[in-house]
Amino acid sequence: MNYLKTKKVVDAKANRTFVVEELEKIFNIELLLVRGQILIEYVFTSFIENYSTEDDYRLDDKFPFYSKFQICRLLGLYTEKDTALIEQINVINKMRNDIAHKLTFDRTLLPNLYKHHNGLKQEVKKKKLKGEAKDRYMLVMIFGSLCGNFSGRAAAVNTVHNTISDFVLGKTVGSGRNFAEILQQDIADLKLAISQE
């Protein structure tokens, strides 16, 4: 997890690769599910903490996984229209909770994850993976895909959020002027252009 901590979850491709490499080392399906869910939760936590105006604020264990997922929706990481992502997170959360309380999970839930990854299903057929090997491969790739997806979305949303925050706070940009000054100049230029028509 040190990689994610040092990179602050901004590079989707690198995070996907990191997650896949981390999870490929795990052969127990239950441990794989728990670790994968923890890595997704780390992406959610980092995304939420990036919104904090307090530099030393840390979300840590203040909210459970599903609450962090809902907070991410409120902050724009995904919308209710992202039904495939929502279903996958719900299934992962259910399986992880089952493991936490029963030390096992309902394997009939796995197809609810797999159905959103037709390309992976084709890879599994080509590789002729079956049973536990198929499940491991699918889960590793799905967790990698989800972490990469959410990391990419987080980077985009945080860029917009930071730009708006900089504007509101009057921070300066490369030209030494702040966003408010630039906007005022743009408005003045627009008014001048309109008046000259």
CB 147 within 8 A of CB 19: yes
Report if pTM > 0.85.
no
Residue in 66, 72, 104 with CA at minimum distance from that of residue 88: 66
Tokens encoding 102? 């029963």
**pLDDT by residue (tens digit) across 68-124?**
999 999 988 999 999 999 999 999 999 999 999 999 999 999 999 999 999 999 999
The per-residue pLDDT of the chain, averaged, comes to 83
Let me know the angle formed at the C-alpha of 17 by 42 and 44, rounded to the nearest 5 degrees. 15
Q: Where are the domains of the chain?
A: 2-171
